[in-house]
Amino acid sequence: MENYTSVPTEFHILPFSDKADRSPLVFGMFAVFYSLGILMNVLIITLIYLDQQLHSPMYLFLCNLSLVDMCYTTTVIPKLLHILSSGNHKMSFRQCFTQMFFFFLAVETEDLLLFTMAYDRYVAICKPLHYNTILSTKVCFICMAAIWLCAMVNSCLITVLTLNMTFCRSTTIHTFYCDAKALSTISCAGKENFYLVIYFEAFLFGFCPFSSSFISYAKILQVIFRIKSRDGRTKAFSTCSSHLIVIMLYYGTAASVYLLPKTKYSDILDQVFTLIYATGTPTLNPLIYSLRNKDVKQAVMRLLPLKLLSTFCSKFRNAIDEGWAI
């Protein structure tokens, strides 16, 4: 029997099937994802803060991206872990909309931040002589303040519009966090304005930043292909390849969540793509940047005690040799 109410006091979150909800493996997987994501992002922020050679606009934006990624995962995964461990699928009205506000804050911040990072790479490669003038420290901090302010205003707007919906159908949400799209499916009134704003937001904060980033990288590639030296082309492309991978991963999964047409498999596909979009991408971002970014790897080597690292490697090698001997 479904509950029908116009002003629900709580929602019922059903993230997965009954078997998956009770599986220690699912809980462990999300716990590992969350821990890995937090540790990697904290590591990147710490490296950028401690290493003077990383005090540049590119790494200021990367530091903010790591902060946004931690906001993503912390907004969603701890509550999901509580649901999986306790079996209590209830989420209060206040918890739901608080989670929604911070989730959309992270979404819009990352949208604008990825575009800003693409512009940073465009200036660095296409206008290197004017880089420090165009992206001065003052300009970068103004950009970051504007990005967070715009994201906060936008998140407030979407949250208020969702609050104005009337929930006279089931209060059960078939997803793993309090999603505005999922709430709109159980609403019977007030969602017309919501969809109108969502489509406008998708164009303004989705299509426009993505198309601008695409144009920036098209111009970057034109400049790279004109470089005669193969080493020069490789070095130029390596400075923006990590960011390009992050953009394609982020926008690809986000578009799959919000733009795919309605089918009989929509609920399953929405959960899969939302899972990648909301938890997988923020965890993979620091791995992509740390593994493909030469400056980050060099910063790790500079900050780690080399003697300690050498001793650890030596002991690890000896342990392997003893294992083979056995």
Q: Tens digits of per-residue pLDDT, 94-108?
A: 888 899 999 989 988
**What's the predicted TM-score (pTM) here?**
0.81
Q: Tens digits of per-residue pLDDT, 127-183?
A: 888 888 898 888 999 999 999 999 999 999 888 888 888 777 667 887 788 888 778
216, two tokens: 């920036």
Alpha helix (H) residue ranges in the chain: 18-21, 24-50, 57-86, 93-126, 131-134, 137-163, 180-185, 191-201, 208-226, 230-259, 266-275, 281-292, 294-303, 306-325
Would you state the pLDDT for residue 191?
Answer: 73
Helices 230-259 and 93-126 cross at an angle (nearest 10°) of 150
Would you state the pLDDT for residue 324?
Answer: 45
Cα distances (Å, whole numbers) of residue 261 to 208, 269, 270, 276: 21, 11, 11, 19
Would you state the pLDDT for residue 148?
Answer: 93
Neighbouring residues of 155: CB distance < 8 A, sequence distance ≥ 6: 101, 102, 104, 105, 107, 108
Which residues is 12 bridged to in the sheet? 90, 172
Concatenated DSSP letters for 99-154?
HHHHHHHHHHHHHHHHHHHHHHHHHHHHSGGGHHHHT-HHHHHHHHHHHHHHHHHH
Q: Tens digits of per-residue pLDDT, 29-63?
A: 888 888 888 888 888 888 888 878 778 888 888 88
Q: Tens digits of per-residue pLDDT, 230-284?
A: 776 776 677 677 778 888 888 877 777 666 666 666 666 667 777 777 777 777 7
Q: Tens digits of per-residue pLDDT, 115-128?
A: 998 898 889 888 88
Cα Rg, the chain, nearest whole Å? 22
Q: Tens digits of per-residue pLDDT, 55-114?
A: 888 888 888 988 998 988 899 889 888 888 887 888 888 888 899 999 989 988 988 998
Cα Dmax for the chain: 72
